[in-house]
Amino acid sequence: MTNIAKKSLEITGLFEAELLVWLMLRYWKHPFAEDKDFANDLLESASAALRGAAGGEQLIEGVPATDLNFVAAVWYAEYCDVGSEGTDPETIEARKAWLSVVRRTLPSCFCNPLDLP
């Protein structure tokens, strides 16, 4: 059985992972899309989530741990970070909107792959 989380973790050190995070932030209009440090921290947090998932830690309900993919890991990292700092309510709402749009737009990233047709 393929460990998607482990394979996704392997790409986190590549430039392409940075690019994908940046594109996700810009395309779905994250309020910190232009903040390079935020994007780098998000990638590091997603990498940590993938390490945990590759080891069997289930992070998203309905997604088996080893089936956590890169996009879902980025989403999860932001989900865990929203509201953790002294961010103003308007920014928190914009970040929550980003989370919602990503999950609605890419639903196949947030389910058990065996459930896909």
Arithmetic mean of pLDDT over the chain: 94
Q: Is residue 117 part of a domain?
A: no
Q: What is the pLDDT of residue 115?
A: 77
Tokens of 72: 């879902």
What is the average per-residue pLDDT within 37-50? 98
| Contact status, residue 66 vs residue 6, Cβ threshold 8 Å | yes
pLDDT above 70: residue 3? yes
Q: What is the pLDDT of residue 84?
A: 72
Enter the pTM of the model: 0.94
Instruction: Identify the H or E element spanning 102.
Output: helix 89-105
What pLDDT digit, counting tens, does each position of 23-34 carry? 999 999 999 999
Domain of 37, in residue numbers: 4-111
Domain count for the chain: 1
Instruction: Identify the H or E element spanning 116.
Output: none
Q: Which range scores top for mean pLDDT: 21-30, 88-97, 107-116? A: 21-30
Q: Is residue 41 part of a domain?
A: yes
